[in-house]
Homo-oligomer: A and B are copies of this chain.
Amino acid sequence: MLGIDDGRFVSKTQGTVDIVGVVYRGGYWFEGLMRSKVSIDGLDAIEKIASMIKNSPFYGEIRIVFLDGLSFGGFNIVDISELFSMLDLPVISIVREKPDLEKIKNALQNLPDFLERWKSIENAGELIKVNTRKNDNPIYIQIAGILLDDAKKIIKKMSTHSNIPEALRVAHIIASGLTCQ
């Protein structure tokens, strides 16, 4: 599995933010790392993520892609259905808190290309609540290129140390550690 997250950045700045992809072989074996940059509040996240994956030595081995939400570097939003088509790999977006779509819609209206960004969010489909681990908080997923039952099974199996897939948990740690200095 591949888990992708972005680093931190100072709000309302311009420029780029690091994104990190972590490859796990099963739920316990760190296999590899990939890295790219996306522009803050830009529109290039989907292209950058797709080319990062396609140019990595792991492309042929990856069976599923987990994203930390739909947005990278602020409001640089990924259309997961389109990413699925570009990669021919199932894509699952995962968030720990249910997002407030009205609030996001309002914020997007302050940015250029509002319709394109909003369409990417609408295309991601329903937010589905999943309980990955007993006695842990539920997560919310959006899926592309995979059946819901399969998605749930894979997520549960891959969430070995927290309530999210291990590659995504580790991508978050690395992306945060890279960019906070």
Q: What B residues does A178 contact at CB under 8 A?
A: 33, 35, 178
Q: Which range contains the number of A residues in contact with the other chain?
A: 10 to 19
Q: What B residues does A173 contact at CB under 8 A?
A: 30-33
Judge if A177 is at the interface, Cβ distance under 8 Å: yes
| A28, A166, A181 interface centre (most CB from chain B within 10 Å) | A28
Q: Which of A18-57 contact B (CB under 8 A)?
A: 28-35
Q: Which of B34, B161, B177 contacts A33 (CB 8 A)?
A: B177
Structural contact, A30 and B30, CB atoms closer than 8 A: yes
Complex CA distance for A131 and B169, rounded to whole angstroms: 32
Complex CA distance for A169 and B31, rounded to whole angstroms: 10
Judge if A108 is at the interface, Cβ distance under 8 Å: no
A49 to chain B, nearest CB (A): 15
A36 to chain B, nearest CB (A): 9
Q: Which of B32, B160, B177, B181 contacts A32 (CB 8 A)?
A: B177
Complex CA distance for A35 and B177, rounded to whole angstroms: 7
Complex CA distance for A160 and B174, rounded to whole angstroms: 21
Judge if A77 is at the interface, Cβ distance under 8 Å: no
A22 to chain B, nearest CB (A): 9
Structural contact, B170 and A34, CB atoms closer than 8 A: no
- Nearest B-chain residue to A175, judged by Cβ: B33
Complex CA distance for A93 and B73, rounded to whole angstroms: 39
